[in-house]
Structure 1
């Protein structure tokens, strides 16, 4: 009888629901949902949904935990499937006592994913920033494995990859150029961002199309309970965000809706215009500004269907009008994205999302010269860009606590415009309209499973099949992925990962610093897809009583079919109207390979009155092209041997927050002149004597050239380091909270190198004339003050 009873299978039921933030009903991503004292649990997905199927029990305790929020526990009787929606309350200034009580619940040692970093947006807003402008990408630069670009730039170089090898997505939409002000600021307004995640390796199969990293950003959904706003006034820009419910009910119900709109604009043009006009005598009008706009709306059609519409639009514009010279010049670039998403819950175990996505990046140059009669005598318009229409469908399936399955597909129709030139010259009656659109299709299908075969082993195994079609080319590439974590102790695990990635879009750049003049081009029958293979191994340790996590990783990445310009080539020459019809951009690039390897360490504390991190990177990166540097390997510009970042935030009390960062990096690898020589051609006049005027006649034609040597990037710039500090003064009023922030960028006035140039030094009474290499810096010590308000 007892044997028959033992063979009766245990009935299982599912508890599922959504986790939101108290006070706003904002969906929370990555919340841990678990049975205390066991290894059984799951996490919420991008939309705050969770599902857990477990054996029936009369009394079951569930815990919900998330960094920066109070832990919530619920005791339920699980004798049938249940829906349980939870709200978490943001924690205040967390103390060490809170941490020891078990607040550190997002353990890195428990996750199969490695090479992944998420930073709370609330923490990003406390870190001192250049000119007071909080910047998501600049904070990511402070992480190990991420190399910084030039001084002040937001360029992201991850594990030996270039800026074009980063997949930057905002609410599922790809952002192709994430820079404002030629790279000194990013396009992401921190007020509108809910979450930020950086993945450097061990990529889940749901991501594809880039070699080096994924930067996944999600916008806030909008407060569902009350009207809320926040904004700020800084030295160069101001911003404002409004969010609130669209339905009459004050609290989120079965049918609720909300909106969010956020805008930011710089006023550099307004401040500089009077000065420019005064210095030019009133003949020159010039300026520069950027702006961006985020908007989002969502509507719940009941417990099973939700609709989201999110958009982003941003633009940079430089203009100059010279009435004296009768010229009008302009330069602009910008992104536009839109995402329409439909969530559908088939049942408590099956969740789906359908996305329709639009992304458009444009770069434009214009130059117009007018005659004295006011008609155009010469005009040049250059346009370049890339436009995407995408369909994406994803399914999340939670069959058991041991399996979490994701499947999906995505197809993107790209239209590249690498050259669009309109030239008109009334003097010679010439008009050229060269529009060279390239249409391609890029698709992918994937499946991945986060599997826990035992209490000690966790796996994320996935497979992606990518497909690319261009007029003369077609590629089908398999992309296997695997990440694993083996638990040695409850707070210590060993991790390993492998990922194969393919990239079908390329960025041609002569500068390597991500300027808007860089050119996006597709894979063709001549230019093959880029491909990388990366392996990594490491350890993850949680110091639960201290609220601290430690990760140490080593990696090796090999890259094939990376492209670069041939010596002396440029798309500006390729697109010259006189030769655009006969010269293809494919003929001006060369393909090669690269490899990168190194070690990274991150010691991070996300909670408590004192928080921050220490990051260190030791790395080597080399490239090799048959037609560059004599076919020998060389270090690319952003290769750095050592990189250190130290970030600290201290909540002195409820009214004062202190913060500081210190960064150090080995100098960039550059190609600079090692000498200068001149060629002199004598005149036909015979000169006798030492008359200076006659000698000037004798050497009337002088040509100088710089000698760059034979090795590419053989010069190392001086090390880069700086120290930033900030202090915030908070004051809570009856209906609003205001914050004054004072920060200092580069406190000890380090003159970091921006570029080098050979220049002639005149003779003095003690030294002969000579040629010397000069270092130029951009930013000395830069103080800033800003005012922020929440209501």
Structure 2
């Protein structure tokens, strides 16, 4: 066990304080018991429940948000005879209710979707009241409808790229779907789809994400002030909720784009009388179909395969009026391959097959039930799998002899099986308590290659197989268990002050060592006025999983690994202070400052690579620490004709490893001093709207070679040219060694880009009278900025060498058609 230190003792003290604060709940209650009104908030048109809707009592200055099942529990003072309540959700008309708590303990609410785009719907209790009054900070929610309004690369709406436009989030390289949140790495993000973890969220080497917006309801990003219910990652939680499906009528939705098409079917489950619903959504690219005429036929029998697909499904069934069962599933893969067959005149035949496949699969079975209007419980079983496999096979046939072949296979991945229980209890108007536990079995396959031979001669085949066994390492697959338990209390300390106190306890077995951690969580807010609050938070996090990544590009060869005696788990603590204000007419502004310290980070040693067979991964990495700090501005409008946001981040992100850069601290690759994102949507009429995004970021920090040492010493290339009469125009090719400057000591050029999309909405779908359609026309990188993707050394004028910039995307047109009926 890790020896308890000062931080461990502080965590124990924090746990004692939490229990002390939560214990006198009954003593603090009024002599007469407070009243609680509960229910579900649903879409009036489809019957789908709405997670994240806000239920607010303006006269009392008190409100709650619906949970992932759309359930709310609003506890009111015992003396309240009638209470005015507003229920709101983005994209829906606000509902105003008059509740009589003495008579009504259960009240379901339905919200009507907004139907008019030109008239401004008055939404008083929009996100604003939730964000001002809530104890949570550093949290932003986005709906799939908002994502679909944004300009997109090649016309494909992308959930992850929408998150990249938020302050505090970096996008990595050009067009990539990586998330670098407040100085953290892509492995430090817990990405959940209906409660199950996703380990790789990229298609096409990171240029598109795996999320099909047709199947998604909303996403919530948490980048600080983490509630105790979350754990296992250092930097962020991306919680994605799938749609339930339409309970009232069958509907079909589809899209046709430049690179992919999608089709979604939803409706009530047959024979259940609106007690259940289903949704099935599929997406597939047709890159292979478009490229086949250009790539096939160059060699006899050549075949080229390149595509990805996503399949989402969710079934919802109400077993009773209170008991709900939900089954969610996702399956997606990238498939790339090539094959050819050639036959010579003398009958010699050669056949080659090679390719790679990688992707995710997951499933969640959830049961939920409100046992009373104060107690809501859920239990879930989850399964998640990420795999990568590549195969090459060369077969040859000589007339009159058996076929011979050589085959190489490499596989890696991770598989999780887990169970979780959660309870939400509202004992009084001053307390909202959550508690739960989770247990997960991880099965790691950090990469194993196999070789097989079949030769014409049996003795040669036996010798080749023996050699292959010697070169192929034993399987490194292993199993670990990870568990956690948590408790948190959202505590109202009067009319102005509220706090969320929590404790997250976790443990994992890695190698022969057990890692355990107590992680205190605290967030608080103080209302200066009903429209303005100041907030602060502190959170300690422990991450047991490492991601061994070779480059900044999202590659399927990245390996997930458990901690060991030599490579311990990652730990961090983060503190933040900020203010949130509602400015009126749908405008919100928040300003936050943060500091984050991270321990146990890993980096590849210089020259190390996953491709070296038989080498222990622990010998390839160095362990160090990092820290990040900065400030964020977020100005947002969510109602009216014109919506969008402005985000600005000023930040520093630093790493230090004893064996790298001579032990001197250096900038993280994605350390960007300034990062700006502007998102603008304007609805001209019910049929026409415009989407615009503009981004700017300081250039990435890179490490460059500053000198070349030749075999005979350090020489100017022009001098070497004179030594070689046969090559007067260039230097002789001699073995060289490169001398690199400070790690991260150089900066690429700044990155900036403008994207546009014009959306035309009209009646009819696929030439049918009913339904509705949207035609989107736009452009990515409108002014064709040559943004840096990487730098490379090339001969310069006068025989020297210079670094040149490689750019990826010029202006790219986008065209997409969406329909629904």
TM over 0.5: yes
Aligned to 2:442: 414
Does structure 1 residue 780 correspond to structure 2 residue 803? no
| Farther off after superposition, 730-739 or 47-56 | 47-56
d(CA) in 1 for partners of 2:156 and 2:30? 63
1:67·1:106 contact (CA, 8 Å) conserved in 2?
Answer: no
Instruction: Give the corresponding residue for 1:291.
Output: 309
Measured in 2, the distance between the counterparts of 1:100 and 1:500 equals 36
How far off its partner does 1:232 sit?
0.4
Match of 1:736 in 2: 771
Contact 1:93 1:651 in 2 (8 A): no
| CA distance in structure 2 between the aligned counterparts of 1:63 and 1:605, rounded to whole angstroms | 19
Give the distance between the partners of 1:601 and 1:133, measured in 2 at CA.
Answer: 28
Aligned to 1:333: 358
- Return 75-84 or 307-316, whichever deviates more: 75-84
**In structure 2, how many angstroms separate the alpha carbons of the residues matched to 1:182 and 1:277?**
23
1:169 aligns with 2:192: yes
Note the alpha carbon deviations across 1:91-111, whole angstroms, 9 max, x for none.
234567534766565442111
Q: Deviations over 1:646-695 (max 9, x none)?
A: 010001100001011110000111123334454479xxxxxxxx999964
Unaligned regions of 5+ residues in structure 1, if any? 1-6, 682-689, 762-766
Root-mean-square deviation (CA), in Å? 2.3
Work out the CA distance in 2 between the residues paired with 1:96 and 1:787. Answer: 26
The counterpart of 2:36, out of the listed 14, 37, 46, is: 14
Conservation of the 8 A alpha-carbon contact between 1:411 and 1:442: yes
SS at match of 2:154: helix
Cross-structure match for 1:560: 599
The equivalent residue for 2:625 is 593
2:19 maps to none
1 CA distance for matches of 2:724 and 2:657?
50
Contact 2:649 2:675 in 1 (8 A): yes
Q: Does 1:570 align with 2:627?
A: no
What is the CA–CA distance in structure 1 between the aligned matches of 2:123 and 2:64, rounded to whole Å? 23
Take 1:753 and 1:134, find their aligned partners in 2: how far apart are those partners?
24
Contact in 2 for aligned 1:444/1:466 (Cα 8 Å) = yes
Per-residue CA deviations over 1:171-223 (Å, capped at 9, x if unaligned) read 01000000000000000001101110100100000000000000000000111
Rounded to whole Å, the distance in 1 between the matches of 2:339 and 2:573 is 50
User: Displacement of 1:30 after TM fit?
Assistant: 2.0
Match of 1:259 in 2: 278
Q: CA deviation at 1:606?
A: 1.4
Is 1:230–1:241's contact at 8 Å kept on the other side of the alignment? Answer: yes
Q: Is the 8 A contact 2:82 2:101 kept in 1?
A: yes
Q: How far apart are the structure 2 equivalents of 1:220 and 1:75?
A: 29
- Alpha-carbon displacement from aligned partner over 1:2-49 (angstroms, at most 9, x marks no partner): xxxxx9943543321111001111111122223332213322111011
Instruction: Work out the CA distance in 2 between the residues paired with 1:282 and 1:652.
Output: 55
For 1:259-338, list aligned pairs within 5 A: 259-278=278-297, 280-282=298-300, 284-324=302-342, 326-338=351-363
Q: Which moved more, 1:204-213 or 1:339-348?
A: 339-348
Query: Do the aligned partners of residues 695 and 119 (structure 1) sit closer, same or farther apart at CA in structure 2, a change above 3 Å counting?
Result: same
Give the one of 784, 795, 798 matched to 1:768: 798
8 A Cα contact 2:117 2:686, kept in partner: no
CA distance in 2, matches of 1:59, 1:771: 79
Q: Distance in 2 between matches of 1:691 and 1:639?
A: 44
Match of 1:425 among 447, 453, 463: 453
Instruction: Give the match for residue 750 of structure 1.
Output: 785
Give the corresponding residue for 2:16: none
For 1:310 and 1:531, locate their aligned partners in 2 and report how far apart those are by CA, in whole Å.
32
CA distance in 2, matches of 1:239, 1:475: 44
In structure 2, the CA distance between the partners of 1:700 and 1:111, relative to structure 1 (3 Å rule), is closer
Q: Which residue of 2 aligns with 1:401?
A: 429
Partner of residue 5, structure 2: none
Q: What's the secondary structure of 2:140's corresponding residue?
A: strand
1:211 aligns with 2:234: yes
* Secondary structure of 1:202 counterpart: coil
Q: Label 1:382 to 1:86 Cα distance change in 2 as closer, same or farther (>3 A).
A: same
Q: Which residue of 1 aligns with 2:744?
A: 713
Does 1:363 pair with 2:366? Answer: no
- Residue 377 of structure 1: aligned partner: 405
Cα 1:284/1:675, change in 2 over 3 Å: farther
After TM superposition, the structure 1 stretch with the greater mean CA deviation from structure 2, 354-363 or 374-383, is: 374-383
**Secondary structure of residue in 1 paired with 2:802:** strand
Structure 2's unaligned 5+ residue stretches are 1-28, 343-349, 455-459, 714-720
Alignment partner of 1:108: what SS? Answer: helix
Contact 2:117 2:683 in 1 (8 A): no
Query: Helix, strand or coil: the match of 1:424?
Result: strand
The equivalences for 1:651-662 within 5 A come to 651-662=683-694
Shift in Å at residue 281 of structure 1?
3.8
- Given that 2:352 and 2:394 are in contact with CA atoms closer than 8 Å, whether structure 1 keeps it comes out as yes
Partner of 2:46: 24
Q: Match of 2:657?
A: 625
Moved more, 21-30 or 260-269: 21-30
The yes-or-no answer on 1:643 pairing with 2:675 is yes
Count of equivalent residues:
758
Distance 1:103 1:473 in 2: 49
The normalised TM-score by structure 2 is 0.89
Change (3 A) 1:435 1:249: closer
Specify whether residues 338 and 104 from structure 1 end up closer, same or farther in structure 2 by C-alpha distance, changes over 3 A only: closer
CA drift at 1:367: 1.2
Q: Deviations over 1:392-414 (max 9, x none)?
A: 10001111222111100001100
Deviations, residues 534-567 of structure 1 (Å, cap 9, x unaligned): 00101111112x2111011111100001111222
**What is the match of residue 532 of structure 2?**
492
Look up the SS of the partner of 2:705 in the other structure.
coil
Aligned to 2:26: none
Q: Paired residue for 1:461?
A: 501
Task: Tell me if 1:392 matches 2:420.
Answer: yes
Once the two structures are overlaid, the 10-residue window that deviates more, 666-675 or 445-454, is 666-675
The aligned counterpart of 1:687 is none
SS for the counterpart of 1:294 is: strand
Q: Give SS of 1:549's match.
A: strand
Whether the 8 Å contact between 2:247 and 2:268 is mirrored in structure 1 is yes
Aligned positions of 1:222-237 closer than 5 A: 222-237=245-260
Counterparts in 2 of 1:456 and 1:226: CA distance versus 1, 3 Å:
same
Q: Give the 3-state SS of the residue equivalent to 2:611 in structure 1.
A: helix
Check 1:741–1:376 CA distance in 2 against 1; reply closer, same or farther (3 A cut): farther
Partner of 1:371, secondary structure, is strand
User: Aligned residue for 2:12?
Assistant: none
Q: CA–CA distance in 1 between the matches of 2:80 and 2:122?
A: 30
Contact 2:705 2:739 in 1 (8 A): yes
Contact 1:14 1:80 survives alignment (8 Å): no
Match of 1:33 among 7, 32, 55: 55
Residue of structure 1 in register with 2:577 after alignment: 537
Q: Is the contact between residue 680 and residue 701 of structure 1 (CA under 8 Å) also seen in structure 2? A: no
Q: 1:327 to 1:407 in 2, by over 3 A?
A: same
In structure 2, do the counterparts of structure 1 residues 700 and 196 end up closer, same or farther at CA, with 3 Å as the change threshold? Answer: closer
2:64–2:130 contact (8 Å) kept in structure 1: no
Aligned CA distance change for structure 1 residues 57 and 365 (closer, same or farther; 3 Å): same
The structural deviation recorded for 1:59 is 3.8
* 1:732-765 deviation line (CA, Å, top 9, x unaligned): 235200111001000000011111111235xxxx
With normalisation by structure 1, the TM-score equals: 0.92
